[in-house]
Structure 1
C-alpha cells in the first residue's frame, strides 16, 4: 500500500496538466463552487471506469536464441587446407565444413598397417614353432601381445585420419569463422561456431518484483509478433532459471517458437514478448493519475456529475485500490461507465463547476 501511495502521489503531480485553467484568480482570492465573473470553469480530461479485463498482459523485451551453440574443433592438430563455411549460411547435418591436410595421417595409417602385417606374420611363425616345441608358450604370448598392440595402433591411426574432417553435427546456422584457412591448428582449437536452429528460442529477463505478479511461468500465455507474420505467434514455455542475474534482480525465462519460417529469426534479434495471465475481474480499472491519495481521507477519485441546467460539477468519491494492473489500478467503489477526472483531480474540490475537455474542443457549459 505504501508503494501505491507513492505511485499515486507522483501520478497526481505529473498529471496536473490534465486540468486546464482558462484564467487564474489573484493570489488570496476565495474560490467558490461556481466560477466568478470573468472566470471560466476549468476544463478536465475524463476517463470512463471500465470493468477489469479477464486477462492481464505485460510486455517484455527479449532476444532470439538458438537451441544451443557449439564451437567445433579438431581432435588432432595439423594444417587447415579446407574451410567451406560462410557466416550466415544454413547447413545440413553431415556437411563437410573443414579439413586438415590428410597426408601425414595417411602415412601414419600406412605405417600402422605394415606394422600389423609384420606382427601377424610373426605370430603365425611363433604359433608353428610352439606346436613343434621350438619356442616356449611365454614367447608366443609376447608375440600375440605385440600383434594386438599393432592392431590397436592401426585403429588409432585410422581414427586420427577420420578426425581430419570436421562435419556439421546438426542442421545449423554458421555463426562465426574462428580460424583462418591454411593455418596450423592445435587439437581443441575452435574453428567454427554453429547455432542449432532446430528449435528457435527467446530469452527475456523477468524482474524479481514482477515474479509474484506473473505467477508460475508455465501457466502464462506467451505470444510475440514478427514483421513478416500476419498474426501473433504463440510461444511454448521451456525453462525458468531460478537464479538471479549478475546485474539486477531478474530471472531468465526461456520460450520456444513453433515451427515458424521467418528471416527475422536469427540469434540476437530483438523481440517483444507479451505475457497474458488470468486476472480478477471484479472492480473497475483506472489510470494511476486518476487516483487521489490522502493520509486522512484515504484513496479517492473525482467523478463528474450533471446538475441543473446541464452544468457539470465534480465530486470526491472514495475508492479502494484492489491491485495493480501494469497500466493502472483496479479499484472498487465505482459504477461502470462513471466519468472520472483523468489527472489533476487534486486541484479540484467537490461541487466545483468544470467543463469536459475533448482534445482541441472544450465543451461549453
Structure 2
C-alpha cells in the first residue's frame, strides 16, 4: 500500500518509539553516573578530612631549677626622715651653708645656731640659785644637828629640834628644785645649736640668718643620706618561696635588687638585702610586708638617679618546692594551662602555675610535665581536648 493511503496514526507511531528509547538511554546514563559517584565519595571524603587536620609547631620544655626571682612593686624611701622645728625662741645667728635643697650635712654637724645670750644668762642664774640653796642646806643641817643634841641633854625643848628638822627638809627641797632649774637651763642652751642626728640630705628649709624663730616653728626637712628601704607586699605563695630561700642560705643575708619600672623616674638598679618581715599583714590586700634595705641608695653617686618616693620593683630570690620549667610565652594559654601533643598526635590539656615571665620566656610549675613532652605553640581557632593535629618541625 502506498504511503498516501496510510492513516495519520500509523505515520506518528515511529516518532514515539524513538522518544521512549532516548529517555531510556538518558535514565541509564544518570544511573551509571550516580553509581560511579557513590563509589568514589568515601575516598574523596577521606582526603578532605585528612586535609582539614591542622599542622602545628611544638616545643619541648626546659628544666629551670628551683630558684627564681619574686617581683614585688614598692617605693624607695629613706630609712630616716626628720622635720626640724624650733625648740627655743631666739634670733638665728648662723646657718650651715649646705642648708639648702639637695645639700648634704654630716652627722653631728651644726645645722643652725640660735642666739644663746639670754639662755646663757639663765644658766648662770640657775647656778647661782643652786649655790644659794646648797648654802642654806648646809646651814639648816648644822642647826638641825645642834637642836637635836640640845634636846638630848634637855637643854632645849623638843619642839625646837622638830622645827630645825623641818627647816632642813625645806632646804633639801630647795636644793633639788635649784638643780632641776639648772638642768632645764642647760638643756635650753643646748637647743640653740641644732645639729644633724644622722648623715642627711636637705629636702627643704625655711630659715635664714637674722630670722626670729619660736618653739614649734618648722625650720627644715631632712632625709638620710645613705640607707634607703622598700616595703613591698607578697602574696602567700611568694612568702613561702622567699622563706624557703632564706632557709637554704642559713644565717646569710638574702640579697635583693631594686629595678626601675614603667612608673619610675630613675633608671638605676640598686642592690641591698632583705631585712625583715613585718609581723602584721595588710588587711586589704592580704599580703605580708617585707622590708628590704639598700645601704647606698641615696649616696652621692646615685644623686639624680634615685629619688625618694620613686616607684621601683623589688626582686627577691625565691625557692620552689618542685622543679620548674621554662617555655616560650606562646605555649602558655591564659597563664593557666598548656597543650601537650601526644604520640598519637592528639592534644591534651595540662594545668600549670605561672611563676614569672621575662624576655627568656615563661617560668612555670607543672608536676605533670616531663622533658620529652611536646607543647603546642601554634594558636588554633578552635582548641579542644583530644583533637588531632599534625606536627611540624619541633623547636629545641
* CA shift in 2, pair 1:217/1:198, >3 Å: farther
**Does residue 224 of structure 1 match 2:224?**
no
- The residue number in structure 2 matching 1:275 is 316
**TM-superposed deviation, 1:301:** 1.8
Distance of 1:190 and 1:249 partners within structure 2? 38
* CA shift in 2, pair 1:92/1:34, >3 Å: same
- The residue number in structure 1 matching 2:8 is none
Pairing partner for 1:158 from 168, 186, 192: 186
**Does residue 185 of structure 1 match 2:185?**
no
- The residue number in structure 2 matching 1:101 is 115
Distance of 1:116 and 1:214 partners within structure 2? 62
Alignment of 1:125-274 (within 5 A): 137-138=164-165, 139=167, 142-143=170-171, 145-147=173-175, 149-177=177-205, 179-181=206-208, 182-187=211-216, 189-197=217-225, 199-207=227-235, 210-212=238-240, 214-215=242-243, 218-219=246-247, 221-224=254-257, 235-245=272-282, 248-257=285-294, 262-263=301-302, 264-274=305-315
Distance of 1:132 and 1:242 partners within structure 2? 66
Distance of 1:74 and 1:195 partners within structure 2? 18
* CA shift in 2, pair 1:320/1:194, >3 Å: same
Alignment of 1:13-92 (within 5 A): 32-34=49-51, 46-84=58-96, 85-92=99-106
SS in 1 for 2:375: strand
Distance of 1:332 and 1:146 partners within structure 2? 82
Equivalent pair of 2:338/2:375 in contact (CA under 8 Å)? no
SS in 2 for 1:315: coil
TM-score by length of 2: 0.59
Distance of 2:102 and 2:132 partners within structure 1? 51
**TM-superposed deviation, 1:105:** 1.4
- The residue number in structure 1 matching 2:264 is none
CA shift digits 1:43-85 (9 cap, x unpaired): 7554432224332323222322222323334443444444432
For the pair shown, which has the larger CA radius of gyration, 1 or 2?
A: 2
Point out the more displaced range, 338-347 or 87-96. Answer: 338-347
Q: Which runs of 5+ in 2 are unaligned?
A: 1-46, 148-159, 249-253, 261-267
Equivalent pair of 2:259/2:313 in contact (CA under 8 Å)? no
Equivalent pair of 2:207/2:220 in contact (CA under 8 Å)? no
Point out the more displaced range, 252-261 or 209-218. Answer: 209-218
Distance of 1:64 and 1:268 partners within structure 2? 5
Alignment of 1:112-123 (within 5 A): 112-119=126-133
Pairing partner for 1:344 from 376, 379, 382: 379
Number of residues paired by the alignment?
Answer: 306
Q: Which runs of 5+ in 1 are unaligned?
A: 1-29, 36-40, 294-298, 306-313, 359-365
**TM-superposed deviation, 1:96:** 0.8
TM-score by length of 1: 0.63
SS in 2 for 1:150: helix
Select the structure that is richer in strand.
1
CA shift digits 1:155-181 (9 cap, x unpaired): 32222111222111222333343x434
- The residue number in structure 2 matching 1:315 is 345
Distance of 1:31 and 1:213 partners within structure 2? 52
Distance of 1:353 and 1:269 partners within structure 2? 51
Select the structure that is richer in helix.
2
